[in-house]
Structure 1
Amino acid sequence: MVNIVDVRKYRGFIFDLDGVLWRGDETVAGAPQTVNRLRELGGRLAFVTNNASKHRTKCLDKLKSAGVKATLEEVISSGSATAQYLKEKHGEGRVHVMGTDDLKREMVEAGHEVVETEADYVVVGFDKGFNYEKLDKAYRTLAEHNGLFVACNGNRLFVEEDGRHPGVLPSVEALACASGRRPDVFVGKPNAPIMEMTLELLGLSPGECLIVGDTLDMDIQWGLNCGVDTLFVLSGMDSLNTVKATGIKPTYVLSSVSEIPLP
Structure 2
Amino acid sequence: MTTDLGAPLVAGEPETTAARRAPRKAPVRRSTGPKPPTLRHERAILDSGARFVAGMDEVGRGALAGPVSVGVVVVDLSTGTFPKGLTDSKMLTPTAREAMLPAVRDWGLAWAVGHAGPAEIDAHGIVVALRLAGRRALAQVRRSLGPVDAVLLDGKHDWLTRPSVDLFEAFDLDPDDDPALPDPAVRTLVKADLQCASVAAASVLAKCERDGLMTGLARQYPAYGWDGNKGYGSAVHVEALKAHGPTPQHRRSWRLPERDEA
Instruction: Give me the TM-score of the superposition, normalised by structure 2.
Output: 0.28
Instruction: Give me the TM-score of the superposition, normalised by structure 1.
Output: 0.28
**Bigger strand share:** 1
